[in-house]
Amino acid sequence: MADAFIFPGQGSQFSGMAKKLYESNPFVKNLFEQANDILGFRISDIMFTGSDEDLKQTSVTQPAIFLHSVAAFKTLQDAKPDMVAGHSLGEFSALVANRVLSFEDALRLVFIRANAMQKACEQHPSTMAVVLALTDEKVEELCAAVQSETGEVVVPANYNCPGQLVISGTIKGIEIACERMKAAGAKRAMVLPVGGAFHSPLMLPAKEELAATIEITTFYQPSCPIYQNVLAKAVTDTTEIKKNLIDQLTGAVRWTQSVQAMIEKGATKFTEVGPGKVLQGLVQKINKEMVVNGVS
């Protein structure tokens, strides 16, 4: 039996996030003020009173979710994860939880990542779409066919759970792919309200920018393995952790495979730490026998 701690990614934000935690816990309040100083603006104010539109800005969303997740984890005084994982952005929160990154360094990396991704989105108009009720293999096959025939970028981006896969690419490529997915029997193939093709080759400029900072950041030996998105297996070597964190920007989030790998290594309980309950739902869709709970 093993306890797995999992951390959410972009999309879990909401107005008022972590406000109660901030007001009730002096340690969390101090952590937020430290974050405001590091970022150079009061992200806490945007989290507590900002509009949904304010919170959708990638340069705000990512540090906000990271801050909420780490603050929630640090209130768990007896938490000793046997393994950790994070969905996309959540990988940085997981690396604080298993002591690979300091809070300060991780927050700086998240902010650099967010701004680099925002710039990449502006350079290449692009989007993502969710595909429901097709096998992963069929989605992969159709994406490859669209790319081959049109020259447009279309790739699998988020393997969320069986029957739910998010694809990423150029606007034209995604539109064509969605029509192909529906024709192949998808229950749904719907373009998402995002302004960029995350986890696709279109994020290459952001990958290069993030890599330069990751290479000069200190990564410590982990207290437990992290199951990283691009490999979906346990990693403890810091050099490999760095490489996988960089590759994640243009590679797929293999969440289904990561959760399955954690279960194979003995995970019986999954605790989602941070805003929302998205990952709890995905874990139960991957394996309904798992015990799931959340800390926010």
Q: Tens digits of per-residue pLDDT, 159-182?
A: 999 999 999 999 999 999 999 999
Q: Give the model's pLDDT for residue 1.
A: 80
Half-sphere exposure of 183 (CA within 13 A, CB side): 7
The span from the CA of 83 to the CA of 6, in Å, is: 9
- Which among 59, 88, 93, 126 is annotated as catalytic? 88
On the question of pLDDT at 77 being above 90, the answer is no
Whether 199 is catalytic is yes
Q: Where in the chain is the domain with CATH 3.30.70.250?
A: 125-191
274 phi, psi to nearest 5 deg? 135, -170
| pTM of the full structure | 0.95
Q: Give the model's pLDDT for residue 222.
A: 98
Region 225-240: mean pLDDT is 97
- Torsion 223-89-124-138 (CA) sign: positive
On the question of pLDDT at 56 being above 90, the answer is no
Task: Match domain 125-191 to its CATH number in 3.40.50.10780, 3.40.720.10, 3.40.920.10, 3.30.70.250.
Answer: 3.30.70.250
Q: Give the model's pLDDT for residue 63.
A: 97
Q: Where in the chain is the domain with CATH 3.40.366.10?
A: 2-122+201-295
Q: Give the model's pLDDT for residue 11.
A: 86
Report the CATH number of the 2-122+201-295 domain. Answer: 3.40.366.10
- Two tokens at 43? 């992200």
Q: Which residues pair with 166 in a beta bridge?
A: 130, 158
Region 182-209: mean pLDDT is 94
Determine how many CB atoms are found less than 10 A away from the CB of residue 264. 9
Q: Give the model's pLDDT for residue 85.
A: 98
On the question of pLDDT at 53 being above 90, the answer is no
Average pLDDT taken over every residue of the chain = 96
Whether 88 is catalytic is yes
Strand, helix or coil at 276?
Answer: coil
Region 98-109: mean pLDDT is 98
Q: What percent of the chain has pLDDT over 70?
A: 100
The span from the CA of 92 to the CA of 66, in Å, is: 7
**Minimal CA–CA distance to 282: which of 262, 266, 296, 265?**
262
- Which among 68, 87, 124, 199 is annotated as catalytic? 199
Q: Give the model's pLDDT for residue 195.
A: 78
DSSP code for 229: T
**Minimal CA–CA distance to 88: which of 108, 107, 65?**
65
Q: Give the model's pLDDT for residue 194.
A: 81
Half-sphere exposure of 113 (CA within 13 A, CB side): 27
- Two tokens at 95? 């690396």
